[in-house]
A and B are shown apart, each in its own frame.
Chain A
Amino acid sequence: MNLALAPETLARWQFGITTVYHFLFVPLTISLAALTAGLQTAWVRTEKEKYLRATKFWGKLFLINIAMGVVTGIVQEFQFGMNWSDYSRFVGDIFGAPLAFEALIAFFFESTFIGLWIFGWDKLPKKIHLACIWMVSIGTILSAYFILAANSWMQHPVGYRIDKAKGRAELTDFWAVLTQNTALTQAFHTLSAAFLTGGAFMVGIAAYHLARKKHVGAMKTSLRLGLITVVIAGLLTAISGDTLGKVMFKQQPMKMAAAEALWDGQKPAPFSIFAYGNVEKGHNTVAIEIPGLLSFLADDSFSSYVPGINDVNKAEQQKFGPGDYRPNIPVTFWGFRWMIGFGMASFAIGLAGLWLTRKKFLLPQHLRVGEDEVPHLVLFKNKALSPQLTTWFWRIAVWTLAFPLIANSWGWIFTEMGRQPWAVYGVLQTRQAVSPGVSQGEVLTSMAVFTALYAILAVVEVKLLVKYVKAGPPELTEADLNPPTKIGGDLRDADKPMAFSY
């Protein structure tokens, strides 16, 4: 089948669709595992029932989510071989190792202990059961680290040499791959963004219930945990993002010039809030700019020189031979802004929420509430917000849960599309990476199948989440409050039903 497309176009679309979709679930899995583990720890330590109810509630949403994360992750492990066989041949010696580490160390951890946690409520003593969810959490974080080290190598290849005879890149220093600053910064940035996502998810859902004055005890705890997570993680995301930006200005100047639509190098360089340009002619027709800010973002100084798209393109042409080394500028430019905009919006809402719902700090006696009451929203010292503003606050808080998901997606689209035309920066171009033996018809088939399947599963998943969100935290049973004392559970009562069954 000849679709008059470049051979890599469909494969890139497929990778984009399956990966962005997979990454909707990943940050939630990482953060909800840790947050659920935190809540369960609070239950084990204090024996307050609200913590157990919150654990069960968030644990259920976590499981609905991780199921999707796990199954869509299977595709990730194999699609390099399916659609990108020349990539796999060329970089497998390096790129394969962190992937294998991820499976052997992190996936086994995650998948084995998640089974123990789901079915273990009546089989494991309280503390061992708690340890299982922490193991899952460690697994998710290790997994993120290994895969980000692999991705960082594509962004900034280190610790390798090219074997011309074999026509491939070979690993010379695995430690460098795992610990280069790209990997460390990227892991820091992605993990903080993951916690921002989970925090916002908690805030949104807790706000939904609190606006309706339902399940107040468990939801107030959750709101607070969510808000604190959003604020801390939001701050860390901003700091790590700034660091990563500076690293990228050095390692991939083209990506950052494109992110700014900075066509020609400037000293000092401005940051554009809005730009509309002509890619053919290589300049912006409209731009709203803040002077000097870009120089600061790139180099911590308001007056340093930042190279532009045209400069870097010329430099790369000299280095790598004739060609167009510019990524898709509008996508890179707007992707960068949407990532920051949506991410920081949720951070701002979190900060506002934390202040408005404060418990005691600068809050007069008559506006403080008891354990099972919805907090008043107090902006200034002595007066709660009007009912209308209160409704709006809860509404915006509910929307917040979507913001980091949007920011994450654009962050990946930005960083991956901003690296084009390279698959491995400076080493292998994307058009050289596809499978030569796979026809466009085959790629189109698999893309259609995955897209349709993912769309159906998205509907199923969201409906299920909504159902369980609306149902709220479950009532606790006798069995919940009396966990077993022996591993394997109570074997004497032979016919006792399982605490959880599929």
Chain B
Amino acid sequence: MELHDVWFVLIAVLWTGYFFLEGFDFGVGVLTKLLARNRPEKRVLINTIGPVWDGNEVWLLSAGGATFAAFPEWYATLFSGFYLPLLVILVCLIVRGVAFEYRAKRPEEKWQRNWETAIFWCSLLPAFLWGVAFGNIVHGVKIDKNLEYVGGLGDLLHPYALLGGLVTLTLFTFHGAVFTALKTVGDIRERARRLALRVGLVTAVVALAFLLWTQADTGNGRSLVALVVAVAALVAALAANQLGREGWSFALSGVTIVAAVAMLFLSLFPNVMPSTLDPSWSLTVTNASSSPYTLKIMTWCAGIATPIVLLYQGWTYWVFRKRIGTQHIAEAAH
């Protein structure tokens, strides 16, 4: 295994970390409209991710920065090519972050309602668009011989990619619902479990369709294994949810995300962004990667930093392990 292969795996790990972690906080954002019945319940939901959403989002910045360093061509083609969808994602992440911090800082009804609307849409849209983006990465896009994306916006919105968007949206919402069941107490916990069942069933249908399509299109033996794990984990997560085993259910929905991302990357390898115009124009781990020297330095950095990050982020979840309910939300002083 050469260093650029190691980095292919590491990029996959960073995206997996991002979708695992921000996956549930996008889901929780969507649930503020789907599950919460009133403002105190909305606040319970927002506060389950309050201390952690910012740290979760850094997985995205790390994936972006590491792609820049390890696969400059991939970084350049991907973000200049998916320009407008990425713009929407960035705007959403900006507004969403500010919304969390500022929503409770004024008592006016209109102020709070506007930020709540922002939290919902700015969680839903990126959750959908990341799926569209990955659908396109795996499927391949119009890349010319200079490794430039030459398609338009319309070329990115084909059925396979849109289905990918539905998968991430539903999967993250399911992941958010089981997370809510794990982190809350009282009525909202029960309803989160019931909603998780319904969302989970929809997820199972779209995810199965998307993963089978992927397998048929670009799959191989290893991706098939990941597919089976993803589907089995999702079914098991639903079963655990029904049995009231919330910790298991969350862990298993996490495994679903890990396996699904693994499947996408396994069916992608050794390409990082295939060209639909001519296979020889595809970006691959070899033609898109940095020099061995840069990759070596990056390997040291990621090899040391990532486990430490996991340790202190894990510790954060332990500090905030207590379940919360409406009784824990104080009327904010203004």
- Using a CB–CB cutoff of 8 Å, the interface residues on chain A facing chain B are 63-64, 67-68, 70-75, 77-78, 80-83, 85-86, 88-89, 91-97, 99-105, 107-108, 111-116, 118-120, 123-124, 163, 168, 170-172, 174, 435-438, 442, 445-446, 449-450, 453, 457, 460, 464, 467-468, 474, 487-489, 491, 495-498, 501-502
Is B134 among interface residues, defined by CB-CB distance under 8 A? no
Please report the C-alpha to C-alpha distance between residue A102 and residue B295 in the assembled complex, in whole angstroms: 16
Is A171 a contact partner of B294 (Cβ separation < 8 A)?
yes
Instruction: Tell whether, in the assembled complex, residue A498 and residue B80 are in contact, meaning their CB atoms are under 8 Å apart.
Output: no
A108-B62, A116-B316 known; A96 and B290 CB under 8 Å? yes
Nearest A residue to B312, CB-CB: A112
Whether A100 lies near B51 (C-beta < 8 A) is no
A72 touching B55 in the complex, CB below 8 Å, given contacts A64-B101, A104-B62, A464-B102: no
| B199 contacts chain A at the CB level, 8 A cutoff | no
Q: How far is the CA of A173 from the CA of B43 in the complex (A)?
A: 50
B12 CB to nearest A CB, Å: 15
Which residue on chain A has the smallest CB distance to residue B323?
A494
For the complex, what is the distance from the CA of A83 to the CA of B69, rounded to whole Å?
17
Q: Which stretch (B70-78, B218-226, B263-271, B274-282) binds chain A?
A: B70-78
Binds A, one of B90-98, B168-176, B187-195, B249-257: B90-98
- Chain B residues with CB under 8 Å of A170's CB are 290-291, 293-294
Q: Report yes or no: A88 in contact with B294, Cβ–Cβ below 8 A.
A: no
Using A123-B319, A488-B318, A502-B46 as known contacts, say yes or no to A93 and B72 having CB atoms under 8 A apart: yes
Q: Is the interface of A mostly helix, strand, loop or mixed?
A: helix
Contacts of A449 in B (CB 8 A): 87, 91
B301 interface residue, CB < 8 Å from A? yes
Asked if residues B55 and A108 are in contact (CB atoms below 8 Å), the reply is yes
- Complex partner residue of B79 from A67, A68, A82, CB under 8 angstroms: A82
Asked whether B77 lies within 8 Å of A104 as measured between CB atoms, the reply is: no
In the complex, whether B205 has a CB less than 8 A from a CB of chain A is no
Given contacts A96-B69, A501-B47, 18 further A-B contacts (CB under 8 A): A67-B97, A74-B60, A78-B86, A82-B79, A88-B75, A89-B72, A92-B72, A93-B72, A95-B68, A100-B302, A101-B301, A104-B65, A163-B291, A467-B105, A488-B318, A495-B328, A498-B47, A498-B329
B55 near A112 with CB under 8 A, answer yes
- Residues of A contacting B329 with CB < 8 Å? 497-498, 501
Contact A498 to B330, CB < 8 A, known contacts A81-B68, A100-B298: yes
With CB as the reference atom, state the residue of chain A lying closest to B150: A437
> In the complex the two chains form, is B91's CB within 8 Å of A85's CB?
no
Are B76 and A89 in touch, CB under 8 angstroms? yes
- Cα A417 to Cα B86 with chains together (Å): 28
- Residues of the B chain whose Cβ atoms lie less than 8 Å from the Cβ of A92: 68-69, 71-73, 75-76, 290
Distance in Å from the Cβ of B121 to the closest Cβ of chain A? 14
Neighbouring A residues of B103 by C-beta, 8 Å:
502
Tell me the residues in window 43-73 of chain B with beta carbons closer than 8 Å to chain A beta carbons.
43, 46-47, 50-55, 57-58, 60-62, 64-73
In the assembled complex, B313 has its CB within 8 A of some CB on chain A: yes
Chain B interface (Cβ within 8 Å of chain A)?
43, 46-47, 50-55, 57-58, 60-62, 64-73, 75-81, 83-84, 86-87, 90-91, 93-95, 97-98, 100-106, 146-150, 290-291, 293-294, 297-298, 301-302, 305-306, 309, 312-313, 316, 318-322, 324, 327-330, 332-333
Which A residues touch B80, using CB under 8 A? Answer: 81-83, 85, 435, 437-438
Residue among A86, A115, A491 facing the most chain B CB atoms (10 A cut-off)? A115
Bound-complex Cα distance A65 to B246 (A) = 37
Complex: A83 Cα to B53 Cα, angstroms: 28
Question: Judging by beta carbons under 8 Å apart, are B65 and A501 in contact?
Answer: no
Complex formed: what's the CA distance from A489 to B323 in Å? 12
Residue of A nearest to B79 (CB): A81
Residue among B72, B294, B306 with most chain A CB within 10 A: B72
Give chain B residues whose Cβ lies under 8 Å from the Cβ of A119: 50-51, 320
Say how far B16's CB is from chain A's closest CB, in angstroms: 15
In the assembled complex, the Cα of A114 lies from the Cα of B57 at a distance in Å of: 13
Which one of A85, A172, A501 lies within 8 Å of B76 (CB-CB)?
A85
CB-CB nearest in chain A for B296: A174
CB of A78, distance to nearest CB on chain B (Å):
5
Chain B residues in 8 Å Cβ range of A77: 61, 64-65
B297: chain A residues within 8 A (beta carbon): 97, 171, 174
Q: Tell me whether A172 and B293 are in contact in the complex, defined as CB-CB below 8 angstroms, given that A104-B309, A105-B305, A118-B51 are known contacts.
A: yes
A-B contact pairs, 12 of them (CB 8 A): A75-B94, A78-B64, A80-B75, A81-B76, A85-B77, A86-B76, A96-B69, A96-B290, A100-B70, A111-B57, A123-B319, A172-B293
Q: Is the CB of B94 within 8 A of A74?
A: yes
Are A103 and B51 closer than 8 Å at their CB atoms?
Answer: no
Asked, given contacts A453-B94, A501-B328, whether A63 binds B68 with beta carbons under 8 Å apart, the answer is no
- With A77-B64, A78-B79, A108-B58 already in contact, the answer to whether A464 and B319 are too (CB < 8 A) is no
Whole-angstrom distance between the Cβ of A29 and the nearest chain B Cβ: 13
B residues in contact with A467, CB < 8 Å: 105-106
B297 CB to closest chain A CB (Å) equals 5
Please tell me which one of the listed residues B57, B90, B98, B146 contacts residue A457 in the complex, with CB atoms under 8 A apart.
B98
- The residue on A at minimum CB distance from B47 is A501
A5, B99: Cα distance in complex, Å: 37
Q: Which residue of A lies closest to B297 (CB)?
A: A174
Given the contacts A74-B61, A96-B68, A498-B47, A460 and B102 also touching, CB distance less than 8 Å: yes
Complex Cα spacing A108 to B312, Å: 9
- What is the CB-to-nearest-CB distance from A133 to chain B, in angstroms, rounded to a whole number? 14
- Distance in Å: Cβ of A278 to nearest Cβ of chain B: 39
Contact of B316 among A100, A107, A112 (CB under 8 A): A112
Complex-state Cα separation, A123 to B50, whole angstroms: 14
Which of B54, B67, B76, B330 interacts with A111 by CB under 8 Å? B54
Residue from A71, A88, A495 within 8 A of B93 (CB atoms): A71
Question: Among A81, A113, A502, which residue has its beta carbon within 8 angstroms of that of B50?
Answer: A502
CA distance A230 to B297 in the complex (A): 38
Chain A residue with the shortest CB-CB distance to B147: A89
CB of B328 within 8 A of CB of A453, answer no
B73 contact set on A, CB distance < 8 A: 89, 92
Give the residue name and chain of the A residue nearest to B327 (CB): A495
> Is A96 a contact of B65 with CB atoms below 8 Å?
yes
- A112 CA / B308 CA spacing, docked (Å): 12
Chain B residues positioned under 8 Å from A120 (CB to CB): 51, 319
